[in-house]
Structure 1
Amino acid sequence: MTTQLELARVPFAADLSSYGNRPAIIADGHTVTYRELARRVGELARQLGTERRLIALAASNEVESLVAYLAALVAGHPLILLPEDKPAALESLVAAYDPDVVIRSAGGLISLDERRPGSDHELHPDLALLLSTSGSTGSPKLVRLSHTNLQANAESIATYLGITAEDRAATTLPTSYCYGLSVINSHFLCGATLVLTGLSVVDPCFWDLFRRERATSFAAVPYTFELLERIGFAAMDLPSLRYITQAGGRLGPAQVHRYAEIGRRQGWDLFVMYGQTEATARMAYLPPDLATDYPGTIGVPVPGGAFRLEPVDGLSDGELVYTGPNVMLGYAQTPEDLALGRSVTELRTGDLARKNEAGLYELVGRRSRFVKIVGLRVDLGQVEQLLADIGVTAAGTGTDDRLVVAVEGTHDNRLLAKVLAQGIGLPRAAIEVFPLHELPRLGTGKINYPAIAALAAAKHSATPQPTPRLGGSQVAPIPHKTGTESVRRIFEDGLDLTDISEDDSFVSLGGDSLSFVAVSVRLEQLLGHLPRDWHLRTVRELETGDPAPQAQGQPATHRHPGEKRSFSPMDTSVILRAVGIILIVGTHIGLLEWQGMAHVLIAAAGFNFARFQLTGRGLPRLRRQLTSVARIAVPSMVFIAFAYLVTDRYSLANIVLLNAILGPEQVTTEWHFWFIEVIVYILLAMSVLLAIPWISRAERRFPFLYPLVLFGVGLLTRYEVVELDLPHTLPALWLFALGWAVARSRDLPQRILVSALTVITIPGFFDDPNREFTMMAGTLLLIWLPTLPVPRAVSKPTVLLASASMHIYLVHWIVYPPLVGTSPALATVASLIAGLAYWTLCTKVAHAGGRLRAPNTDRATAQSSEVDRWDA
């Protein structure tokens, strides 16, 4: 007997085995045949059961995600498809729709969270797939797609692209994005091959893979072409390339013409396409032979589809309306909507269009207040409501590449941009916030959106533009005076770089804890206040005066740069380093007795690693992390080699920082540099660990949980569950991970949890309660007080001591012994001065070396790592 599930199957997913041993997926150097893929899909389909259930899949560009996607289609279970790298969106939709099963994949494994054995939902027989509209994940509104929709659109795309079993598509878009999904469906329909990768087109490894596997096509959104320009794509030799597809937003006619010409010369085609999630991806395509003559059009309807133009009152152009077998069943906004059948028979696109003399359709505008930015459709009304919900009066508009939001009054603009990025699913770089004294309005009282758009246009114009005016008043951002010194100049001096752009930040420029000290103090003196997250803010955001975050209910406070104060706030980690090195050196010399600060600085190292070394991904991030390690290891090895030559206290193992592994077990002078070794070992281990793709994804997905897991692993040595013969390194991972967790604590419950872990785990570690109190106090300061007031008279010495703390630690071991018999105080002061001198020398050598390198090579690399993966 034929079951309901069998009737509900999508043919292209159910017929995988018909292609036998042809390659279906090539991933990480391994080939999965259609027969093997069908077997794995079948196994998971059987595991999902025979009763229809609602499934949510956190999808990534991995084989396991494709297996889960196909298994749901084969087994007839309706599937909510979500991006793996947006856990907040996943949690939101899981809460809204209460799926029966949640599937995740990581590290080659599929994880099934079966929340109930059956289903609590009434699911319409035609329902196959639920997608967020146009890739946006900021709303519970989903597109309901049927089995027929998926099959029909795959067939249509395969027809006009001429896909055959010999084709191989390199994946450049997320599986959860309807455009990326359409590539998968159309190729599996034809027995073609997916070259599965998460690499960006700016990564040379992508093109090595493309050539090695003889890929024939890749998909691109408009931003992809900007990246292709940067890497010299036009001159690339890609003999297997047959065509490029473009969708996800409007590509400028000039770019269409240019790439169509490049393709004509090099033997490949450019397919410009138009679609919406509501049409299962594609509604129109521009035949490649017409692209140079009509680059501004969307072309003709896809096979099986049709357009008509419906008149719009007051406009000469009509609204584009599409009909075809790929038109969605309708929208879902609640779980109850999943029981609905077809509620729409045609798709009103909301786009205004006209038909030209060649029979091609051309888009001329939008009927409603939606904009499509980097492939995501953004509801400007939702943008304004998101900010209104937190008490901010705002007006939103946008272009093809950015969302422009004007807000009344002074706010933390970076925080507002972050709220919007998370709420509507846009990359942070695609959002600009302009603070205005008041929003510009027309005579009717309505907001003047063109004036806001003109504000952004004037800012990005290549030629000077007059400030937009409304009536007799100017519409201009609230100014912020920054004195004669600039943020850019401070970054240039502190990081030894030139040609810094307004979109650079301290972290994207490769800043770390060593350069953080001097830069933060100069910025605080310049700006009058220093936001806690200043190291993540761009030059533009700092120079336009985003106010520092304030406690809820507290007014923002500002200080004019020239205003004198007795105290100035300073980053707590900076103060801990300065005070810590004095107490460490003084204790070693015998001037005082105050132990525990070295362990506080291990926690501070984890704190700063999380702040400065976790942005970006892949090889650029690893390179930046290893460079930071080298800034510790190289000066240390040079000095220890000098100490080895002038004393008899150290060994060759000390020089190469391997004493903890090769040195004596008993504590001797050879253990003097244990702290340096600990930091280098951990930083190297964390950098290598995060270079593993699935671990890196886990850290991004669970930024607070990840260091807590490391903390738990470290506790195995803390409580001697695991014993190692490295006496001084035992507490390192535990404390480093604790500092990491401090940096990732974003709200009150998380800070309370980390505080509790601090108070619970430190007692009993040493026999000295004073030492344990120092460790607890230092860690709790990091958690609860991001800055501390410092008398202005001692702020500069504090900065110098913090900057040179590592160098002071190194040199004091050979400076103080000859002097301690004369005066411990003299020995301490001499150690501090000698350390400062060595720090100055190392800084000058590093700057001289930096000037010999190609300018800003590291910065360009760091910036490329910030490109949003799916845009690339």
Structure 2
Amino acid sequence: MPFARDLAAHGDRTALITPSGEVTYRALAERVAATAERLGRARRLVLLAGANRAESLVIHLAALAGGHPVLLVPGDSTSTIDALTAAYDPDVIARPDDHGTWALHERHRTSAHTLHRDLALLLSTSGSTGSPKLVRLSHDNLQSNAESIAGYLGIRQTDRAATTLPLHYCYGLSVVHSHLLRGAGLILTERSVADTAFWEEFRAARGTALAGVPYTFDLLDRVGFARMRLPHLRYVTQAGGRLAPERVAAFAELGRKSGWELFVMYGQTEATARMAYLPPALAHERPESIGIPVPGGSFRLRPVDGITAPDTGELVYSGPNVMLGYAETPADLALGRTLEELPTGDIARRAPDGLYEIVGRRSRFIKILGLRLDPHRVEARLEGHGIHAACVGDEDALTVVATGTADADATAVRRLVSEGCGLPPRAIRVLPVSELPRLASGKTDYEAVRRLAREAGSSAPAPGGDDLCALYAEILDRTDVTEDSSFVSLGGDSLSYVEMSLRLEQVLGVLPADWHTTPIRRLRAPDTARRTTPSVPRRGLRRSLETGIALRAVGIVLVVGSHIPVFLVQGGAHVLLGVAGYNFARFHLSVGERRERLRRMGRSIARIAVPSAVWIAFALLLTREYDLANVVLANSLFEQDNSDPEWRYWFVEALVHFLAGLAVLLSIPWLHRAEQRAPFGFALALVALGLVGRYDPWGLAHVRFHLSPTVVFFLFALGWAAARARTAGQRLGLTAVTLVTVPGLFPGEQTLRTFIVLGGLVLLLWVPALPSIDPVNRVAGVLAGSSLYIYLTHFQVYPHLRDHSPVAALLVSLICGVAYGAMATRLTSGLLSSLQALTRRSRSAHRASLTPEAARGG
């Protein structure tokens, strides 16, 4: 295959940009040649665990160059690898070993199969289900498809495309092949476009091309793609399912303004990825169209019974990229071409301007979240488990109408379907019925099933079980969790990350430092597990504990214990301010889109202010020690005697004031952009601003200056900067600032208090996690997760017990705070959910009032 054999012809041009450095075409050719020699001259069937890594790509190219048919499977799905190994008995399996080192596992020295001379690649059309039905592709299919795509995209040697899609997916593979054909560069990455680090890598590599499925474009909206400065970006491609016409038009217009082109494409695995594309110049005028056939291909419309509209029928494609045929058993690997043209199963219309439009599907095959599946196979799988069901679906969800399915059984049904077809649980809706709707003939009435699905609404129930998606859905109270979601993308914040990190650590082992921005798919991947799990298997209770969680737990114990007092070790609350700044940067600023940042800040303010105001109002009625300024968290704005009890809630007020002020600050577009361009520099500027308040040259602070928000803001800013520090030099500089500015904060000689604050901030800066054991993690998780509520409530709890037993006063204070936290979390979450639902209904009603039907009164 020319593009795999002729890599050296591109010389010292950059072929791959990887996390560990760049690889030239000459070096890549040498690695491919060495691997091809290991595979040998005799053709063998090679099962390759696909991954967006240099090792996987080298093996793929070596097999193609040496004439070995490749069975390309998802590298993160052990069940798929096992199923297809059992079904096809590959001669060689290429995958990482237990230590993460890629290896060729030879199972047969000579092939156990008769392999047709044209056979080059075997791909699944059904994702990671392990279905034995595969698409057989030839060398000519791959070469002609790469040439066609490179031609209409106008790929140049200077282009650099990011691998935003998996290698085992035909669309992702076509990006690789077409760019290698032209001697262009590939930015090899496994990061999601929702990850801030992806865009740092893309800019650094001068990326020119992005590829995405419809869900990718949803993520682009979330991260503020429209506001990004990507000076080298030349084109964006979309395939893998229908993108709504209004979205096509919007992205086409964005591209026009930003200097890049949008290519909307249509294809199937059976056509080696691409059959049609919409020329960018027409994307704004004809966004509903799939465009014209790719170079070398052609369409015809085959009549369909019951369809009488002119120029409408089943779309049939012809071209050199049409597959050889399907394979369902090893014997099929000996077959040559079994079809000359490809009936797509789509009903299409040819418009007067020559462009094609998809208007429906001929069969019941459906595509959900870019994954094509056959509902009949899902029903057969459930039937095999004694469940009678009928399945229908749209682009977003599969609805399973099943008989006799109670709530508990619905979870089991959802899991069975998810395991069988590869859909995430959140995209599967289970509806229990006493009997399936039937036609007079006794056959299932699928139109009635569709009506049931429509009536059930568009929200899929939260997944259950021990799946990571279910874990995220449970803790974050979300029903839209997918394998591409991350803690940050789902709106996780400092109040939920404690439970999330500890639960994940129990499931996965030691977590990577960037777990909160890592998609679930990568967290569950075998290579991630190998990177994040200790080299020596853990035994018994050994665990690790994030430093931020440990500081929150210890800090709140120090606060309560010193107030009783059980001991006098002050400084815990000031350490908690630094941790708050650290978490603010991690969870709010990892989201690139400005409106989403502000929405999350507002939610965090509500989650702090609402339970605080409720409890302080209760304390006001109970003790009369407070006033309305405390209830509205504004006491620190007024001059007070430093011995007044009103100052007890200075910490909560400071947090709310900081978040509100920063929400206003970052709502200003140019400041938002400045923070995104220079995250660490922006944080340092805030540290400098905080130091003005810290040293108070104009004497504006209250008497009790070390509790005033304006004075302690620099601690919050130091925590923020600690989260943004990426290099040892940045950490050293920040450490120096901390060591110079914290001493002298507290009045008098308070050496221990100063060292407590210094130690907490330095730990936060240099030590991501501490060794621990499981019982300690459990206790720390509860205390850290409830630290705000313990702080709120302990002033009203410990006075009743401290004279009898200070230790008992401490324990009861902690327990009461945890209990109030559980209640307050439910209260606040319910309130926010109700407000969001009300907002959605209001928007829906407003949109409905603008439709022509509404204007006509019907």
Per the TM superposition, whether the score is higher than 0.5 is: yes
Q: How far 1:448 sits from its partner (Å)?
A: 2.5
Match of 2:316 among 302, 315, 321: 321
SS at match of 1:382: helix
* 2:316 partner SS: strand
* C-alpha displacement of 1:259: 1.3
Q: Which amino acid aligns with 1:392?
A: I
Deviation sequence 1:606-654 (CA, Å, 0-9, x none)? 898229998998333699999976445433355368879978999999x
Conserved? CA contact 1:134–1:276, under 8 Å: no
In the superposition, relative to structure 1, how do residues 17 and 108 fare at CA in structure 2: closer, same or farther (>3 Å)?
Answer: farther
Give distance in 1, aligned partners of 2:305 and 2:424.
Answer: 36
Q: How far is 1:443 from its partner?
A: 3.3
Identical amino acids, percent of aligned pairs: 49
Distance (whole Å) between structure 1 residues aligned to residue 519 and residue 442 of structure 2: 53
517, 537, 541: which one pairs with 1:620?
Answer: 517
**Contact in 2 for aligned 1:512/1:613 (Cα 8 Å):** no
The 8 Å contact of residues 277 and 291 in structure 2, kept in 1 or not, is answered as yes
- Is contact 1:187-1:193 (8 Å) kept? yes
Aligned counterpart in structure 2 of residue 46 of structure 1, from 24, 32, 37: 37
**Aligned positions of 1:686-835 closer than 5 A:** 834-835=810-811
Does structure 2 retain, via aligned residues, the 8 Å contact 1:20–1:33?
yes
**1:393-792 to 2 correspondence within 5 Å?**
393-411=388-406, 412-460=409-457, 503=480, 609-610=506-507, 618-620=515-517, 630-639=548-557
Counterparts in 2 of 1:374 and 1:340: CA distance versus 1, 3 Å: same
Give the letter aligned to residue 87 of structure 1: T
Q: Could you say which residue in structure 1 is the equivalent of 2:754?
A: none
Deviation at 1:274, TM superposition (A): 0.7
Residues 1:836 and 2:812 aligned together: yes
Q: Structure 1's 836 and 73: CA in aligned 2 closer, same or farther, altered over 3 A? A: same
| Corresponding residue SS for 1:417 | helix
Corresponding position: 1:121 with 2:113:
yes
1:367 is matched with: 362
Q: Distance in 2 between matches of 1:381 and 1:249?
A: 20
Distance 1:514 1:503, change over 3 A: closer
1:283-322 equivalences under 5 Å are 283-316=275-308, 317-322=312-317
CA deviations over 1:746-796 (Å, ceiling 9, x no partner): xxxxxxxxxxxxxxxxxxxxxxxxxxxxxxxxxxxxxxxxxxxxxxxxxxx
Structure 2 matches for 1:131-170, cutoff 5 A?
Answer: 131-133=123-125, 135=127, 137-170=129-162
How far, CA to CA, are the matches of 2:138 and 2:519 in structure 1?
43
1:608–1:305: structure 2 CA closer, same or farther, 3 Å change rule? closer
User: What is the CA-CA distance between 1:461 and the residue it aligns to?
Assistant: 6.3
Alpha-carbon spacing, 1:42–1:461, altered in 2? closer, same or farther (3 Å): closer
Shift of 1:456: 3.3
Task: Quote how far apart the aligned CAs of 1:431 are.
Answer: 1.8
Q: How far apart, CA to CA, are the structure 2 residues paired with 1:649 and 1:262?
A: 60
Q: What CA distance in whole angstroms lies between the structure 2 residues aligned with 1:629 and 1:275?
A: 49
Tell me which residue corresponds to 1:94: 85
How far is the alpha carbon of 1:512 from its aligned partner?
12
Aligned 8 A contact 1:644 1:650 in 2: yes
* 1:255 shift after superposition: 1.2
After superposition, the C-alpha distances for 1:163-193 in whole angstroms (9 at most, x for unaligned) are 1101111111000000000000000000000
SS, match of residue 835 in structure 1: helix
Q: Which amino acid aligns with 1:251?
A: L
CA distance in 1, matches of 2:119, 2:361: 30
Deviation at 1:442, TM superposition (A): 2.9
SS at match of 1:308: strand
Q: Which residue number in structure 1 is paired with residue 63 of structure 2? A: 72
RMSD: 4.8
2:6 corresponding residue in structure 1: 15
Q: In the superposition, relative to structure 1, how do residues 622 and 375 fare at CA in structure 2: closer, same or farther (>3 Å)?
A: closer
How far has the Cα of 1:134 moved from its partner? Answer: 5.3
Query: Among residues 187, 191, 194, which one is paired with 1:195 in the alignment?
Result: 187
What is the CA–CA distance in structure 1 between the aligned matches of 2:172 and 2:56, rounded to whole Å? Answer: 13
Q: Measure, in 2, the Cα distance between the counterparts of 1:27 and 1:615.
A: 19
CA contact (8 A) 1:394 1:405 kept: yes
Q: Trace 1:108-257 onto structure 2 (pairs within 5 A).
A: 109-133=101-125, 135=127, 137-257=129-249
Structure-2 separation of matches of 1:620 and 1:509: 11
* Deviation, structure 1 residue 516: 11
Q: Deviations over 1:281-340 (max 9, x none)?
A: 001111111112221111111111111111122223311111111111111101111111
* Structure 1: distance between partners of 2:201 and 2:498: 38
Question: SS of 1:61's equivalent?
Answer: coil
Q: Match of 1:33? A: 24
Q: Deviations over 1:151-173 (max 9, x none)?
A: 01000100111111011111110
Which secondary structure does the structure 1 equivalent of 2:317 belong to?
strand
Measure, in 2, the Cα distance between the counterparts of 1:649 and 1:616.
33
Deviations 1:489-531 (A, max 9, x none): xx99x98x9xx655589997869999999xxxxxxxxxxxxxx
Distance in 1 between residues matched to 2:199 and 2:32, nearest whole Å:
30
Change (3 A) 1:240 1:339: same
What is the alpha-carbon distance in structure 2 between the residues aligned to residue 641 and residue 337 of structure 1?
72
Q: Distance between the aligned counterparts of 2:381 and 2:824, measured in 1?
A: 49
Whichever residue aligns with residue 362 of structure 1, its letter is: E
Q: 1:37 to 1:314 in 2, by over 3 A?
A: same
Secondary structure of 2:210's match? strand
Letter of the aligned partner of 1:419 in structure 2?
L
SS in 2 for 1:315: coil
Q: Secondary structure at the match of 1:46?
A: helix
For the residues of structure 1 that align with 2:772 and 2:498, how far apart are their CA atoms?
24
C-alpha displacement at 1:244, in angstroms?
0.8
Task: Count the aligned residue pairs.
Answer: 585
1:134–1:375: 8 Å Cα contact kept in structure 2?
Answer: no
Query: Which runs of 5 or more structure 1 residues have no equivalent in the other structure?
Result: 1-9, 463-476, 479-490, 518-534, 537-604, 657-687, 692-731, 741-798, 820-825, 861-872
Amino acid across the alignment from 1:635: A
- Taking structure 1 as the reference length, the TM-score comes to 0.59
Q: Deviations over 1:238-293 (max 9, x none)?
A: 22111111100111111111111221222211111111101110011111111122
